[in-house]
């Protein structure tokens, strides 16, 4: 009858520890598996753009659509390189980004104050929420004629329009975030005799942090989309103006370049916001 070396009753003094490099290997394998999943997801996401680009190239190559209407990808890429090298595009990006920043500060700040106020005060919510919800049903386009009367067609029109578009989603997101705070947490605060400032700092703010970042993302993306729309209507600079001006000149390649830059900046904003949000919410535990 043979005995195993792992049997502690037969060999009580022998302990076989795992090699020191086993933990490192396991972590390396997990990292490789995660990287493989990310690459697989990225490749799956690139399938549709690759198919569309191939269809676009084939259409231009076979001249199914006149090049004056749909220029080839190579021509659009050449136009993009020209405007980037000449520096013509950068000022327009800067003007649009500046309008987004000011509108996010004005509209986002107002939305946060209103959302927090109505979320923490039932009286304020009863007075303001019905009217604000009714006004929120009016799209930005519906406010443009009234804003033109009071603000003119210059820069204040753009800031007011974009600020209105930002304030509504930020306000409603923050209101919903505060409304979803567990009543158990608030009862614990009352048991410990927390002051209103302590309840706000220790319970409300940590509980609404995910909603705060969600409101910030929605506000930034809404501001970026709305500022392009407003610049298409009335502006002398910005990416929306650059697109409208190129269309008036029949430069469809520049129109496509503008669309590509608008989409690229939007994706960049989303990625940056997620990178900022991830370390600030690392303390949160994921559910099972």
Give 10-residue mean pLDDT values along the chain (288 residues). Answer: 51 50 64 78 81 88 85 90 88 91 89 86 88 85 85 84 88 84 77 78 78 82 88 85 90 90 88 76 53
Contact between 112 and 174 (Cβ < 8 Å): yes
- What pLDDT score does 147 carry? 86
- What pLDDT score does 256 carry? 92
- What pLDDT score does 273 carry? 81
Say whether domain 74-280 belongs to CATH 1.10.3720.10: yes
Taking the C-alpha atoms of residue 10 and residue 212, their distance in angstroms, rounded to an integer, is: 62
- What pLDDT score does 287 carry? 46
Taking the C-alpha atoms of residue 153 and residue 113, their distance in angstroms, rounded to an integer, is: 28
CA dihedral 206, 208, 212, 213 (to 10 degrees): 70
Cα distances (angstroms) measured from residue 127 to each of 130, 165, 177, 181: 7, 22, 19, 22
- What pLDDT score does 285 carry? 54
- What pLDDT score does 23 carry? 58
């Amino acid at each position: 009858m043979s005995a195993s070396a792992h049997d502690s009753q037969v060999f009580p003094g022998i302990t076989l520890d795992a090699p020191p490099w086993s933990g490192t290997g396991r972590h390396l394998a997990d990292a490789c598996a995660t990287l493989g999943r990310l690459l697989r997801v990225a490749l799956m996401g690139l399938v549709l753009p690759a198919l569309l680009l191939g269809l676009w190239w084939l259409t231009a190559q076979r001249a199914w659509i006149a090049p004056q209407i749909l220029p080839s990808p190579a021509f659009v890429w050449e136009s993009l390189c020209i405007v980037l090298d000449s520096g013509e595009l950068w000022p327009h990006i800067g003007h649009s980004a500046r309008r987004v920043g000011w509108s996010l500060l004005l509209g986002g700040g107002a939305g946060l104050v209103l959302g927090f106020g109505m979320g923490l005060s039932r009286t304020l919510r009863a007075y303001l929420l019905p009217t604000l919800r009714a006004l929120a049903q009016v799209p930005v386009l519906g406010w443009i004629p009234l804003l033109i009367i009071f603000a003119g067609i210059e820069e204040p029109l753009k800031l007011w329009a974009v600020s209105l578009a930002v304030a509504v989603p930020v306000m409603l997101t923050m209101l919903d975030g505060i409304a979803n705070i567990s009543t158990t947490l608030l009862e614990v605060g009352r048991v410990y005799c927390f002051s209103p400032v302590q309840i706000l700092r220790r319970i409300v703010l940590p509980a609404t942090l995910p909603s705060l970042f969600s409101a910030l993302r929605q506000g930034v993306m809404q501001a970026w989309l709305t500022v392009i729309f407003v610049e298409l209507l009335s502006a002398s600079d910005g990416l929306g103006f650059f697109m409208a001006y190129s269309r008036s000149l029949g430069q469809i390649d520049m129109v496509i370049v503008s669309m590509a830059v608008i989409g690229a900046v939007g994706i960049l904003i989303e990625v940056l916001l997620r990178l900022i949000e991830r370390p600030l919410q690392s303390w949160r535990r994921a559910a099972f």
